[in-house]
Amino acid sequence: MNMSDVAEASTRSADERALIEFLGQRDVPCPLCGYNLRQLRSARCPECGRELELRVGLSEPRQGAWVTAQIAIAAAAGVGGLAIVATIMHGWPNVSRRQWLFNICFFYYMLAIPLAGMTYLLRRRFLRLERNAQWWIAIAASIATAFSIASMFLTD
């Protein structure tokens, strides 16, 4: 047995003791079978036999704003992908009315393609922002996407 095995066994026994101590006076159901784990003697559920561990987790994962922003940007990126294919197949569209509006929306669609990847890769940083900042970003992305999609119907 090398030093890392000894350290792992020591950590495991300390974690097991913490779990047993935590469940000593608490009614906590097994996450798998629902058996009451009060006064547990080992780190296994006596009912289903699954190994248990004590963890710390967020009481309320705040992902609503991130999901909203991701959906809005992914929708624009999807339209952007379709716009690229249409432009390759048919050329740049000749829009008679509100060409400037069409150009702005087309630019947003092209920008949304890398933004969709960035919002996915930078999820943890986004979730560290204050809740108000998260929702302002999500609302801005939703409004930009809704406006750009609605503006497609305003151009000929």
28, two tokens: 């906590």
* Whole-prediction pTM: 0.58
**What is the predicted pLDDT for the residue at 65?**
93
102, two tokens: 């069409």
Q: pLDDT tens per residue, the chain (156 residues)?
A: 555 555 555 556 788 888 889 888 889 898 888 999 998 888 889 998 889 888 877 666 678 999 999 999 999 999 989 988 988 898 877 766 677 787 888 888 889 999 999 988 998 899 889 989 999 999 999 999 999 888 877 765
Task: Provide, for the chain, the percentages of residues in helix, strand and coil under a 3-state DSSP scheme, each rounded to the nearest 5.
Answer: 65, 5, 35
Q: Determine the Cα–Cα distance for residues 126 and 102; give it in Å rounded to an integer.
A: 30
118, two tokens: 């960035």
**What is the predicted pLDDT for the residue at 150?**
84
Residue ranges covered by each domain of the chain: 1-56, 64-151
**What is the predicted pLDDT for the residue at 58?**
67
For residue 67, the Cα-to-chain-centroid distance in whole angstroms is 6
**What is the predicted pLDDT for the residue at 121?**
92
**What is the predicted pLDDT for the residue at 83?**
85
Kind plus residue range of the DSSP H or E element containing 154: none
**What is the predicted pLDDT for the residue at 10?**
57
**What is the predicted pLDDT for the residue at 93?**
75
